[in-house]
Chain A
């Protein structure tokens, strides 16, 4: 897809989203679609650091929750509008991403991953103890009234998340195709060699961690209005870490379309499984699918398709 065509497609997807919102379907569909789109943002964000740069982040819940709690603070202190919450959530999570980026100076591979996991646990402890946002008891948010033209607030949030998903995918696609993406790939393949060849590794890693963190915060910022009750155990859920890493792994980590495919497939499958089977069993399924893909198809669905296409040609 060419650049201009991509933008056109993205815009028409959002327009289709507005149209779908106006259809006023069964509310469940908007709730479910929101979650799937949220995973598109999280998986794409994770992949910018994990897939492009080769640093495995187990701390998705930390960034997501930081976005959500930034929104909570803004709602409580200023009654700020959603747009301000989005900007602030992304900014705060981006700063955390920047800090994580400096961490990569000392911590590589496994140690980096464990540090991100540590970050999530420490941050959760902070929010459990912070009375302003309700501590462990949680914080109740009142959803604003309906939005003209679009529909009620859940329908509006669905459109917002759709737009955010497009922003995330466009960002990932842009990074992948620019010199930044090539630099990140060089870091992924061999960081020492990249440094020796004059690739500004630290600066690129900082870009990667910051953008990845910002997008995760962006995914978290509308969450308080969506869920209306924010408490530490639900926003710091390990499911976010597992899913945001499983989805790119299943779709394919080297291109922007991989996480998109993975998130739509796995996200939708989970929504269906939650309704038809049970929510615990569907988590088990995610784990099994993740392990199966890592062992059997390390290139993901995109890799499988490429392999099939190559076989077709020869």
Chain B
């Protein structure tokens, strides 16, 4: 237990807000896949993990900057998402058997990717190196570490970009339309399958960059994705399913809650916070803060 002090509180708040921006980045894919498409992709965090290990590999082998790697690999992850959705569609969604078996399917994918990462990289914690990661900034009593500031900034930028994509572009609006009424979209002569294809691709594509941010914040190991299952669903549900702005707000709330918990009652409890938030959100207001 730590004595209460104002400096400590301020530092915890700032760290929480920075962490929150990053949580938004990790959760964007779930907000799109689960919130808009109604696909409960519980394997999303493991793809974030995959993104982390890609960033690690490129950093160690070629000295690539993690964020640059994340950007470069976005199209690869997009393609991965499209393939995954096609398998999901032909095996489950088309037959109308998506809910239970689809869930088990993604659980299996989660397990396969996790074990594959384990086989390839082992259980040791891995981290990346870049010039700016160790730096920090001081404003009065508050320290701002770059390893948190950079992921937060990129996370907020990602949220903004996705928001613009969904509200301003043709395909983005089509995705919103398919979320509202796929049947009506079909009547308009558009193919909901094609639109969902793109949307799920985008959802997985965010994992490439989010993974690079994750390994920047701290060292990673393959089993870490499970902690993030709770976090991403808590953020997506709390934010209001499919609301991109809500995702950012919910990410910030979760980040601050976790940071305060870990500062004042020990870091081992911070994982439980996300699940507490999730259970509370589901029990009290399942439609989330910004739900439709």
Complex Cα spacing A34 to B269, Å: 34
Given A283-B111, A288-B112, A290-B111, the answer on whether A118 and B269 have CB atoms closer than 8 Å is no
Residue from A114, A280, A291 whose CB has the most chain B CB atoms within 10 Å: A114
**Additional A-B contact list (10), CB under 8 Å, known A54-B100, A284-B112:** A106-B286, A107-B283, A121-B227, A121-B271, A121-B272, A125-B268, A136-B268, A249-B104, A280-B115, A288-B108
Q: Does B229 contact A (CB under 8 A)?
A: yes
Contacts of B101 in A (CB 8 A): 294, 298
Q: Which of A283-308 contact B (CB under 8 A)?
A: 283-284, 286-288, 290-291, 294-295, 298
B99 pairs with A118, CB closer than 8 A: no
Subset of 12 A-B contacts with CB under 8 Å: A106-B282, A110-B99, A110-B103, A111-B286, A114-B42, A121-B227, A121-B271, A121-B272, A283-B115, A284-B116, A287-B115, A290-B104
Q: Does B126 contact A (CB under 8 A)?
A: no
Q: Which of B52-107 contact A (CB under 8 A)?
A: 87, 91, 97, 99-101, 103-105, 107
With both beta carbons as reference points, the residue of chain B lying nearest to A118 in the complex is identified as B275
Task: State the Cβ distance, B277 to closest chain A Cβ, in Å.
Answer: 10
Contacts of A290 in B (CB 8 A): 104, 107-108, 111
Task: State the Cβ distance, B91 to closest chain A Cβ, in Å.
Answer: 4
Contacts of A136 in B (CB 8 A): 268
The 6 closest A-B pairs by CB, nearest first: A118-B275, A287-B112, A291-B108, A287-B111, A110-B40, A290-B108
Q: Which of A224-262 contact B (CB under 8 A)?
A: 238, 242, 245-246, 249
With both beta carbons as reference points, the residue of chain A lying nearest to B97 in the complex is identified as A298
With both beta carbons as reference points, the residue of chain B lying nearest to A129 in the complex is identified as B268
What is the count of residue pairs linking A and B with beta-carbon distances less than 8 angstroms?
A: 106
Contacts of B111 in A (CB 8 A): 238, 242, 283, 286-287, 290
The residues of B with any CB-CB pair to A shorter than 8 Å are 34, 40, 42, 87, 91, 97, 99-101, 103-105, 107-109, 111-112, 115-116, 118-119, 223, 226-227, 229-230, 233, 237, 266, 268-269, 271-272, 275-276, 278-279, 282-283, 286
With both beta carbons as reference points, the residue of chain B lying nearest to A126 in the complex is identified as B272
The residues of A with any CB-CB pair to B shorter than 8 Å are 54, 56, 58, 106-107, 109-111, 113-115, 117-119, 121-122, 125-126, 128-129, 136, 238, 242, 245-246, 249, 280-281, 283-284, 286-288, 290-291, 294-295, 298
A109 pairs with B42, CB closer than 8 A: no
Contacts of B269 in A (CB 8 A): 125, 129
Given A118-B230, A118-B278, A122-B276, the answer on whether A238 and B103 have CB atoms closer than 8 Å is no
Task: State the Cβ distance, A96 to closest chain B Cβ, in Å.
Answer: 14
B286 pairs with A281, CB closer than 8 A: no
Contacts of A114 in B (CB 8 A): 40, 42, 229-230, 233, 278
Complex Cα spacing A245 to B111, Å: 12
Complex Cα spacing A107 to B276, Å: 15
Task: State the Cβ distance, B47 to closest chain A Cβ, in Å.
Answer: 15
Complex Cα spacing A74 to B215, Å: 42
Contacts of B109 in A (CB 8 A): 287, 291
Task: State the Cβ distance, A266 to closest chain B Cβ, in Å.
Answer: 13
B230 pairs with A121, CB closer than 8 A: yes
Q: Tell me which of B87, B115, B119 contacts A295 (CB under 8 A).
A: B87
Complex Cα spacing A76 to B237, Å: 42
B268 pairs with A280, CB closer than 8 A: no
Task: State the Cβ distance, A211 to closest chain B Cβ, in Å.
Answer: 20
B99 pairs with A109, CB closer than 8 A: yes
